[in-house]
Amino acid sequence: MDIKLNIKLSTFCITQFSIVTLLVLAGLAAYIYAHITGHEYVLGFLPLFDVGNEQSFPTYFSVLNLLLASILFFVLYLFEKANHHKGFNYWLYLAVLFLLLSCDESVGVHENFSNIHDYLAAKDIIPALISSHTWLPFGGVFVFFVGVSLVPFLRSLSKQSAFYFVLSGGIFLTGAIGFEYLGAVMLEHGLVDSKADLLYKLRRVFEEAFEMYGIAILNCALYREMLNRKLCLAIHRSES
């Protein structure tokens, strides 16, 4: 028995952006409510909408959406490989990359690079960088090399597909790197007293919003690529 998931592109995109918008607004409302009332838990429900909390609905959705991107990349890889299209390995490369990003979103592997920075700085191997968010330089180097490695892939795509891929990546990195760096600057220069300040939390909302919208745009672009190839996701039960 086959169950085909035939979803219109418009329905898929509306669902993606609606969920992201609701989570962002819920996170913003939770921060503002806690600031005004001084109640930060409300029977444990407010932390569930904290965009900066790893055990929250926004983080859970981001993990699943990154995993969805990995699955869509892998489906496209299988199609490209089966049809002997040039550069099909790039789709597998991106499928693995987004699987790793999904894992990182869940367990925060990138945070451990702060320990690497502290160790190298203590040994005078590298100069001491910003005291907070010390993983950022490593993230910047990672993004640079990944970006360079994907140039041939982007050039092989249609202009419209390449545009959406670059757009989604730019929006995602604005949040993941740009607003993360802004948070470091705010702490370094005393613009906020701590991460508990409302201004810092509002910055965090923008950070996570850009990341989630970036992933949503990517998934819509990937789903469009699938529909253009007349592909659909299906659940198949083998007959024993």
Residue 8: inside a domain = yes
Number of domains composing the chain:
1
Bridge partner list, 235: 3
CA distances 214 to 106, 166, 183, 236, Å, are: 17, 10, 19, 31
* Residue 129, domain member (yes or no): yes
> Under a CB-based contact definition with an 8 Å cutoff, are residues 47 and 55 in contact?
yes
State which residues form the domain around 213: 2-53+109-236
Query: Taken in order 29, 35, 39, 41, is the CA torsion positive or negative?
Result: positive
Residue 17 lies in a domain: yes
| Any domain includes 125 | yes
- Given a contact cutoff of 8 angstroms between Cβ atoms, the answer to whether 176 and 139 are in contact is yes
Output DSSP code: residue 49: G
pTM higher than 0.85: yes
| 103 is a domain residue | no
pLDDT of residue 65: 97
The answer to the question of residue 79 being in a domain is no
pLDDT value of residue 110: 62
The whole-number pLDDT of residue 114 equals: 66
Decide if 72 is inside a domain.
Answer: no
Query: Tens digits of per-residue pLDDT, 30-81?
Result: 999 988 998 877 767 788 888 888 889 999 999 999 999 999 999 999 999 9
Closest CA to 116 of 94, 95, 136, 93: 136
For residue 131, give the amino acid letter: S
Tokens standing for residue 21: 């918008």
Instruction: With cut-offs at 50, 70 and 90, classify the pLDDT of residue 122.
Output: low
Residue 93 domain flag: no
